Structure 1
Amino acid sequence: MMRTSIVSLVSGTLFGAGLAISGMMNPARVRGFLDFFGSWDPTLAFVMGGAVIIMAVAWAIQSRMRAPVCEDAFALPGTTRLDGRLIGGAVLFGIGWGLSGLCPGPAISSLAVNPLPALVFVTAMLAGMAIFRMTESRGQG
């Protein structure tokens, strides 16, 4: 348990540092990336490309491991199905990201640096999560 907490803390700190160093906590970077016909900012493309390379290496390493370092088994997604809910969620995420320039990780990190805009986003995100939980539980009950 303690080892898992330490690994989680180090991973979260590394992720937050990466967001800060790459400038991804700045909503203007994301909006600049989406401004194809104005002053386009390619920074986000480089960050995504770096993340894809690191993730490809991580998947290659994971496929050779019997179990993760701090757990008994891997908790991997059980399905690869593309359905309306997944696509709709991705579209909604993209619209919110494009409008606000923030996604959950940078928004939470931004609470420490630029709290007011981040607080608006995080509040809306939490409200959306609560609405989903309420409607999801009604649909399954």
Structure 2
Amino acid sequence: MQTGVRKVAHVLERLGLAMAGAASGLFVAALVGTSHAALTNQAFLLLMMTGGAVGFYLGIDTPPRPFTASNGRPTDEAWVGKVDTPELLSAIGTFLAALSAFASVGVIVLRQDPDLAWIWMIMAGWVVGVAMQIIAGTIARLRR
């Protein structure tokens, strides 16, 4: 059983991840919005920030599938040696979302003017990455 302090610490950690995701979404939205006039509005910014917050909240801290029981034997013989799909989706999604946010900040800070194709690739990386995080977090929580 978890103590109250551990529960509060876990909630604070998850809220911090959500805020990091929202900030990352804001950076990507700012870059895309400055390159495409139709996406320069508050609704787009809020959508990107909400997507990032939900993705980072659900997808980064997924509950893992146990590999062994307390007696040291595998918990499920069918599971031994197989890929944990939510864990893989979460890892790839986190990488794509973080890479897209990093690229966005780099372009903004260095005041670069990349080709529109690069902007859309950054946007696609962000959307796919956050979607993978949300799917991974949902799968991991449904299997508990």
TM-score with structure 2 setting the length:
0.33
TM-score with structure 1 setting the length:
0.33
Which structure ranks higher in relative contact order (CA pairs < 8 Å, sequence separation ≥ 6)?
2
